[in-house]
Amino acid sequence: MSHPQRILVTGGAGFLGSHLCEALLAQGHHIICVDSFYTGARQNLATMRDHPRLEIIAHDVCVPLSVAVDQIYNFACPASPIHYQRDPVQTIRTSVLGAINMLELSKRHGARIFQASTSEVYGDPMLHPQPESYWGNVNPVGPRSCYDEGKRCAETLFFDYQRQHGLKIKVARFFNTYGPRMHPDDGRVVSNFIVQALTGRDITIFGTGAQTRSFCYVDDLIDGVMRFMAAPEALSGPLNLGNPEEFTIEELAREVLDLTGSSARLVRHPLPQDDPKQRCPDITLASEALGWAPKVPLRDGLKRTIAYFDRLLANSPR
């Protein structure tokens, strides 16, 4: 940006939101970090808590908010199955009412607004890899539906507000992202495997371990987010952001065991309902429109993430 902006980041104390706040502060902007602290953690903001250009507001986006801003990044929503299934109705409220409240704020101030959507909008995909044109294969009434359909509805709202009110929107679909500040108990595969390996517990693999995921290091994702937000208004999305390199779950587990030197055993459990068998982004659009591609190899990113969890576990006896 050519001059400092007032930027609202909802979910700003979360894993991704805190990294975004940090990156935006580094660019010289004034950041208003809004978080209900349902899954976000004040500890994630520790390195910037006293920054003169950071305001932290404890607030639930399901309730309207009145602040004057130039830009909005809507990152508020529990994003791991354990957290979003704990209170599924609240998850849907956060996705839908949160989107409406932030879109109304955007409309009042003419603020450009970014929606952090998800690869979960593709469900258990029947097309591989997944391009943005794919409409998905989503169960609307399953245990994951509160998140999948909540995010799909939020996308609908963003594009309807764009068509109906001329809002300047950006909608990005994030694929599996990992790195420091992930919650140790969020049930996501990277944090699960690392915490289990470091504490010597069995590594739990759901299903055969042959299902695939693509893992994007957080710094790469945030770089894509900021490039997308700065891109011309005509590029509104949806836009996939993720790493197109696929790994099986078992390959990830063995990489974590190798890097941690753990002697933990691999133990298999039944696959949860509606768990996708394959998940990999087609990032042609992001590559061509933004000149963006992930740079951090999985092994390097895992080393940094393991070092973070090692420090975290050393400081919090479990």
Report the number of secondary-structure helices (H) and strands (E) in the chain: 9, 13
Contact 150, 116 (CB under 8 A): no
CB atoms within 10 A of CB 315: 8
For 28-70, the DSSP string reads T-EEEEEE--SS--GGGGTTTTT-TTEEEEE--TTS------S
Of 259, 263, 264, 260, nearest to 297 (Cα)? 259
| 147 a catalytic residue | yes
d(CA 172, CA 79): 15
Of 147, 161, 178, 217, which one is the catalytic site residue?
147
Contact 267, 202 (CB under 8 A): yes
Instruction: Give how far Cα 45 sits from Cα of 53, 191, 252, 302, Å.
Output: 13, 19, 29, 22
Owner of token pair 């245990």? 143
Helix (H) or strand (E) holding 269: strand 266-269
User: Catalytic amino acids?
Assistant: 147
